[in-house]
């Protein structure tokens, strides 16, 4: 077993982190494409949140809480694999729950 606090261990850890960041880059492109039609203020928020959430599967859990969401034809909170929806609207009552994602107290105008 490799010790993490050796030069080889730290080099391996940083390689894994670098690979994860490179692979998350394609998610950033999709988030940017999805946000392109929004007003500037909303676009910035969507990009920042989208990039943060795009690394969630490898980084831990996500909390989507106390947001006001409107005019979202696909749904207020939808899990995507690139541009392809892979979940139903997670903010809807009775939606499937995921252990690493908490969706609560959002105001959604449908």
- Spell out the SS3 assignment of 37-101: CCCHHHHHHHHHHHHHHHCHHHHCCEEEECCEEECCCCCCCEEEECCEEEEEECCCCCCCCECCE
- Interior/surface letters 40-58, b for 16+ CB within 10 angstroms, e for the rest: eeeeeebbeebeebbbeee
pLDDT given for residue 48 in this prediction: 72
Shared domain check, 46 and 65: no
Same domain, 78 and 102: yes
pLDDT of residue 65: 84
Q: Are residues 48 and 69 in the same domain?
A: no
Domain ranges, residue 42? 1-59
Q: Final residue of a domain: which of 24, 41, 59? A: 59
Residue-level pLDDT at 58 = 57
Q: Within 10 Å of residue 90's Cβ, how many Cβ atoms? A: 19
If asked whether residues 107 and 93 sit together in one domain, one would say yes
Instruction: Tell me: do 9 and 50 sit in the same domain.
Output: yes
pLDDT given for residue 2 in this prediction: 54
Residue 5 is predicted with a pLDDT of 76
* Predicted pLDDT at 56: 53
Stated pTM of the model: 0.45
Q: How far apart are CA 38 and CA 42, in angstroms?
A: 6
Helix axes 40-54, 7-35, angle to 10 degrees: 140
What CA dihedral angle connects 93, 97, 42 and 28, to 10 degrees? -150
Residues 81 and 52 in one domain: no
- The mean of the pLDDT values for the chain is 76
Task: Please give the tally of structural domains in the chain.
Answer: 2
Residue ranges in the chain whose pLDDT is less than 50: none
Same domain, 82 and 110: yes
For residues 50 and 84, state if they share a domain: no
pLDDT on residue 72: 84
Tell me: do 70 and 31 sit in the same domain. Answer: no
| Listed residues 59, 77, 96: the one ending a domain | 59
Do residues 69 and 34 share a domain?
A: no
């Amino acid at each position: 077993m490799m010790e993490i606090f050796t030069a080889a261990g730290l080099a391996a850890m940083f390689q894994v982190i670098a690979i994860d960041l490179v692979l998350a880059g394609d998610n950033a492109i999709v988030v940017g494409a999805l946000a392109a039609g929004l007003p500037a203020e909303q676009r910035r928020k969507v990009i920042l949140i989208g990039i943060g959430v795009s690394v969630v599967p490898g980084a831990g859990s996500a909390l989507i809480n106390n947001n006001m969401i409107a005019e979202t034809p696909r749904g207020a909170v939808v899990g995507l694999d690139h541009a392809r929806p892979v979940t139903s609207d997670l903010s809807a009552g009775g939606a499937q729950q995921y252990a690493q994602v908490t969706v609560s107290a959002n105001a959604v105008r449908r």
